[in-house]
Amino acid sequence: MDRRTFIAAAVVSPAFFRPGPNADFAQAAEQTPVDGWRRFEITTKVALLNSSGRARLWLPLAQTAAGYQTAISLNWQGNGETELLRDSTYGSLLLSSAWNEGAGAQNLEVRQTVATCDRSALPTVPMSVAERQFWLAPRESAPTDGIVRATVERIVAGRTAPRDRLRAIYDWVVDTTWRNPDTPGCGFGDIRAMLEVENFGGKCADINGLMVGLARAAGIPARDVYGIRVADSRLYPSLGKSGDISRAQHCRAEAYLEEDGWFPVDPADVRKVVLEQKLAVDSPEVRNLRERLFGNWEMNWVGYNSATDIELPGTGQQRPNFSFLMYPVAFTTAGQLNALDPARFKYEIISKQL
């Protein structure tokens, strides 16, 4: 369906570019800083092909993360029943749209404005006991016992300071893993399988997921942050994407250190540069990047959430077909659509710097 038809169909709907009724965005618009920040408009268009029965769609939305990212505005148009929801475990914000039998073309267009600022050290915010326990807890796709704990005990042996332990894990992940271009999407994040079969090839959800699981097993609170690249990189071409970013999903990792607060890392992007720029892991360029990505994120990327192994809100027990919430998710009468199969699940994500 072309854009004119899409908009014409949506005009008759009360959802035509309706502002999202959420206080977070109004507050963020008032508080967004200017100096050193960039604003991006991210437009997502989804069309559920070959579907005329009941269907439901969920889209992850950009989060507000103190100090480096602010979600400013959200608008949408479409002919479904659309609402903002949060998952009950992580509080991740999603836009959900549902269509009944006979609704006709099932389309949704979402426009979100986000501001970002390159991230390094942030003011330390004390972590409560409950928060620490939450970000140390094992996950279904990332356990912290058995082979995971045995592996990290070898990695951090003799080190007691949390930052030293974290750096040992980071270096081990960079040295041991490799980016596999044949891995579907961003990977699967099954770290136990990676360790058991000693196959350390994958993509960001595998490599940074391994970083997070090992950190938790070492007693360091950690989490993945799932998101998408929105602009070209000043570092390497392979670390950025602008314009059509439909396949530019990327997850990062962060760990909590008492002296630094949430500390950003990205070993997966080190391995991405090794592969795609055809550089040796011990080359001066990669050594410099390794240092930079231990404690810094270039914010040509927008984070959605840290939701892992969740049930979709409003569904009872339905889950995404990946353990993380980084792609659009849709269910039709034929079942869950594959976000990596554009022949059946057509979506386009466009980024524009404002």
> What pLDDT digit, counting tens, does each position of 147-157 carry?
999 999 999 99
pLDDT tens per residue, range 260-284: 999 999 999 999 999 999 999 999 9
Crossing angle (nearest 10°) for helices 146-155 and 162-176: 110
Measured CA to CA in angstroms, residue 203 lies from 249, 265, 279 at distances of: 11, 15, 17
pLDDT of residue 318: 82
| φ/ψ (deg, to 5) at 214 | -65, -40
Burial of 185 (0-12, 13-18, 19+ CB in 10 A): middle
pLDDT tens per residue, range 325-350: 999 999 988 888 888 886 678 899 99
Q: The tokens 């704990």 sit on which residue? A: 149
pLDDT at 34 over 90: no
pLDDT at 79 over 70: yes
What average pLDDT does the segment 279-303 reach? 97
pLDDT of residue 316: 67
Q: Would you identify the CATH topology of the domain 129-298?
A: C8orf32 fold (3.10.620)
Backbone conformation region of residue 308, classed left if phi is above 0, alpha if psi is from -120 to 50, else beta: beta
Question: At a CB cut-off of 8 Å and minimum separation 6, what does 242 contact?
Answer: 230, 231, 232, 351, 353
Closest residue by Cα to residue 77 from 133, 20, 131: 20
pLDDT at 291 over 70: yes
pLDDT top residue among 53 and 167: 167
Query: CA–CA separation, 298 vs 235, rounded Å?
Result: 9
Q: How far apart are the first and last CA of the chain?
A: 27
Query: CA–CA separation, 166 vs 212, rounded Å?
Result: 10
Indicate if 129-298 has the same CATH topology as 3-117+307-353. no
Count other Cβ atoms within 10 Å, centred on residue 108.
Answer: 27
Note whether 107 and 52 are within 8 A (CB): no
Going from N- to C-terminal start, the domains of the chain cover 3-117+307-353, 129-298
Q: The tokens 């270096």 sit on which residue? A: 171
> pTM of the prediction?
0.89
CATH code that applies to domain 3-117+307-353: 2.60.40.2250
Which ranges in the chain belong to alpha helices (H)?
Answer: 3-11, 23-31, 129-136, 146-155, 162-176, 191-197, 204-217, 267-276, 284-292
3-class secondary structure for 170-220?
HHHHHHHCEECCCCCCCCCCCHHHHHHHCCCEECHHHHHHHHHHHHHHCCC
pLDDT of residue 53: 81
pLDDT at 20 over 50: no
Neighbouring-strand partners of residue 93 = 86
Structure tokens at 17: 């570019």
